[in-house]
Chain A
Amino acid sequence: MAPASYELTEVWALVERAQAGEAEAFGLIYDRYVDTVFRFIHFRVGNRQLAEDLTADTFLRALRRIGTVTWQGRDLGAWLVTIARNLVADHFKSGRYRVEVTTADVLDADRVDREPESSPEAAVLDHLTNVALLGAVRRLSPEQQECIVLRFLQGFSVAETARAMDRNEGAVKALQYRAVRALARLLPEGVRP
């Protein structure tokens, strides 16, 4: 979810400490955002090894640029995702990527067996719904996919998504509407809301 203001203040205090040369402060920033960055990249590239490489590149680039980042009253996660997004775009432009990404590639294959609170049947049903949903997301345009992943899978606000995608908020609202509408049409009967 989008962070509360006290969380933003806490993160930017870590940024200031990192900018003062405290390595561990950057480590705490990494701890907070590594899942967000990895999940975004993994969904886009659909390959764990490549997602790990690009996640490492994202944080190395962020480390080397932490001195230049300035407080804008917003979540640092949007800045990190912007770096990740640019690295993913560079990767796709390089022509070394796999064209086919299956839904199974972007799901955690073992996760269905790791939900202790739910019954096995409910876990399987949830997993099947997730497969259908994420499969449909994968059929959206790259920009619509990014918007859906950032807004609803990562919990970014419209403002944060706009910042990460280098767009204005009005454009993100329009993109969000087109993406959700397209997604609803792509879903199979039974999963459609």
Chain B
Amino acid sequence: MIIWLFHRRRAERLARLLDEPAGDTHDEELAGYVRLTGYLARGTSALADPGADFRTSLRALLMATAEREDIRGRPFGGGR
């Protein structure tokens, strides 16, 4: 129970630090985690993007589908 509470407080503290633009702390462990999330954010550029051909052809498919199937506000059935 004490450990659970400890980790819950650390999770809240980390969330607050991540929300603060200049989130500063003397807690070295949490400061390291904040730095790590900064590295992750910079790593975004390494993720693959959709190719231009795919992007264009999917857009065309969607536009054709929208014209064919009336997309106006009505349920199309099914859940998520």
Q: Which residues of A contact B (CB under 8 A)?
A: 18-21, 23-24, 26-27, 30-31, 34-35, 38-39, 42-43, 48, 51-52, 55-56, 59-60, 63-68, 82-83, 86, 106-108, 111, 115, 126-127, 129-131, 133-134, 137, 148, 151-155, 158, 173-174, 176-178, 180-181, 183-184, 187, 191-193
Contacts and interface: CB of A to CB of B under 8 A. Distances in A.
B14 A34 contact: no
30 contacts: A18-B66, A21-B72, A23-B62, A23-B63, A27-B59, A39-B47, A39-B48, A42-B48, A48-B48, A52-B54, A107-B47, A107-B48, A108-B46, A108-B49, A131-B46, A137-B40, A151-B37, A152-B40, A153-B44, A155-B41, A174-B7, A177-B11, A177-B15, A178-B7, A180-B37, A181-B33, A187-B36, A191-B39, A193-B32, A193-B36
A24 B59 CA distance: 10
Contact of B46 (A48, A83, A111, A180): A111
* Interface SS of chain A: helix
Given A153-B41, A174-B8, A181-B33, A67 B76 contact: yes
B10 to A, nearest CB: 6
B46 A174 contact: no
Given A64-B71, A82-B80, A193 B15 contact: no
A119 B61 CA distance: 40
Q: Which of B11, B67, B78 is most buried by chain A, counting CB atoms within 10 A of its CB? A: B11
Interface centre among A107, A126, A173, A183 (most CB of B within 10 A): A173
B20 interface: no
B69 interface: yes
Contacts of A174: 7-8, 11
| Overall SS of chain B's interface | helix
Q: Which 8 A-B pairs have the closest CB atoms?
A: A177-B11, A23-B66, A152-B40, A130-B46, A67-B73, A193-B35, A19-B73, A193-B32
Interface residues of B, number: 47
Contacts of B70: 21
Contacts of A137: 40
A56 B58 contact: yes
